[in-house]
């Protein structure tokens, strides 16, 4: 499929920093991506016990901005920060969580999308409770 046929991403104008920990290497890969879309929001679920709140996010990275699997890696447990974030030493990874770092997001899912068999973008997202220790379901 010619590139001219791929979708246009008018809202993908943000810079984000992706963080991927590699325990075998005891290192944290930091990748700055320009031309992404990051939407963060507060989400609430009501049940018999009351209302539980959580933060949620959606990240979209067009293939034209950065090639998934080549220019960057993204997996559940990885972190995303709006803008150009700092380098994070591996020893600080356990404390690099939303409760300690304002605006930090924890990836819960990664979903590469294709159009006509051609990679067009990656969607990633997640939600977490006030503890900020990781991506968690509000129901279990």
Domain annotation covers residue 138: no
Domain annotation covers residue 87: yes
Q: How far is CA 29 from the centre of its chain?
A: 14
CA distance 28 to 92: 9
Domain annotation covers residue 122: yes
Domain annotation covers residue 34: yes
Region 72-100: what's the mean pLDDT? Answer: 95
Region 106-132: what's the mean pLDDT? Answer: 87
Q: What is the helix, strand, coil percentage profile of the chain, to 5?
A: 5, 50, 45
Q: Which residue has the tokens 């803008």?
A: 83
The answer, yes or no, to whether residue 139 has pLDDT greater than 70, is: no
Number of domains in the chain: 1
What local confidence, expressed as pLDDT, does residue 3 receive?
A: 53
Q: Which residue has the tokens 């969580």?
A: 97
Domain annotation covers residue 135: no
Which residues, other chains included, contact 70 with Cβ-Cβ below 8 Å and sequence gap of 6+? Answer: none
Domain that holds residue 122: 3-128
Domain annotation covers residue 92: yes
């Amino acid at each position: 499929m010619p590139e001219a046929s791929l979708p246009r991403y008018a809202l993908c104008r943000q810079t984000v920093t992706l963080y991927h920990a590699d325990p075998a290497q005891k290192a944290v890969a930091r990748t700055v991506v320009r031309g992404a879309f990051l939407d963060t929001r507060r989400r609430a679920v009501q049940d018999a016990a009351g209302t539980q709140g959580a933060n949620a996010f959606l990240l979209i990275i067009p293939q034209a901005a950065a090639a998934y699997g080549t220019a960057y890696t993204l997996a559940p447990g990885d972190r995303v920060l709006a803008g150009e974030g700092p380098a994070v030493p591996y020893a600080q990874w356990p404390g690099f969580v939303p409760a300690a770092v304002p605006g930090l997001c924890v990836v819960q899912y990664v979903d590469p999308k294709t159009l006509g068999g051609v990679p067009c973008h990656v969607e990633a997202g997640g939600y977490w409770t006030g503890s900020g220790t990781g991506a968690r379901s509000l129901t279990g």
